Amino acid sequence: MAKELGLGVETIRFYEREGLIKQPQKPQNGYRVYDDSITKQLQFICKAKALGFTLKEVASLMSMDGDCAKVESLGLQKLSLIQSKIADLQRLEVVIKEMTNSCRNNNDQSHCPIIDSLK
């Protein structure tokens, strides 16, 4: 089951402890047996995680099933977070590009404009 989803066994146990999925029924030998509904929950978690939702948010999403407005608002919130992260990183990109450029044009290898600009 773990392999099927590309997760470690420990990871699934962890999700279980965190209440993201319910403990599956365990027959006489004590081993977990996963039914379809848990498999689907795990797939849901994987997909939501890939979209950048935290595990807590995933739990929220799962509990919001049936309230589209709430889900939308969480989505919009995540969207604006993503957009501001993008903006931050783009600003950073410019600065670092400039700095490495000034390194490239530097003749004196023993004296670095990046280090200088940080001082």
Which residues contribute to the site for a second copy (CB under 8 A)? Answer: 40, 43-44, 47-48, 51-52, 61, 64-69, 71-72, 75-76, 78-79, 82-83, 85-86, 89-90, 92-93, 95-97, 99-100, 103-104, 106, 108-115, 118-119
What binding mask, one character per residue, do residues 30-69 give for DNA by CB under 7 A, x or -? xxx----------------x----xxx-------------
Q: Nearer Cβ to a second copy, position 9 or 95?
A: 95
Place of tokens 């209440």: 19
Q: How far apart are CA 102 and CA 119, in angstroms?
A: 15
Q: Is 1 exposed, middle or buried (0-12, 13-18, 19+ CB in 10 A)?
A: middle
* Residue entry with tokens 């600065």: 95
Please say whether the beta carbons of 58 and 20 come within 8 A. Answer: yes
Binds 110: which of a second copy, DNA, none (CB < 5-8 Å by kind): a second copy
> What's the token pair of residue 21?
């999925």
Binding site for DNA (CB under 7 A): 2, 7-11, 13-14, 26, 28-32, 49, 54-56
